[in-house]
Amino acid sequence: MKTFNINKNTILKVGKMSFILLLIPLVMSFSVEGFNWGFFDFVFAFSMFFIFQMIYQIFAMKLKSKSAKIILSAIILSIFLIIWITLATG
């Protein structure tokens, strides 16, 4: 059985990408009227981005073909969007 070997660079790369994705709502909160995220909204968004990116990294290590990775991306993105929209609408 193969083990998952996630190194420190992968975790840092995912963390940086999650932070970059948070810049979008940060800019929107200053420029769009009525867009008011609090501190915990940003913490939750960061954790969602980070967790789903790590899930992709773990499963993508096992896959060799590009088409399988694209399908994996579509599945993970669909699950992410379902959870995000469900939580956003209450």
Q: Which residues of 46-64 are buried (b: 16+ CB within 10 A; e: fewer)?
A: eebbbebbbebeebeeeee
pLDDT exceeds 80 at position 1: no
pLDDT in tens, 23-82: 999 999 889 888 888 899 999 999 999 999 999 999 998 899 999 999 999 999 999 999
Check: pTM over 0.75? Answer yes or no: yes
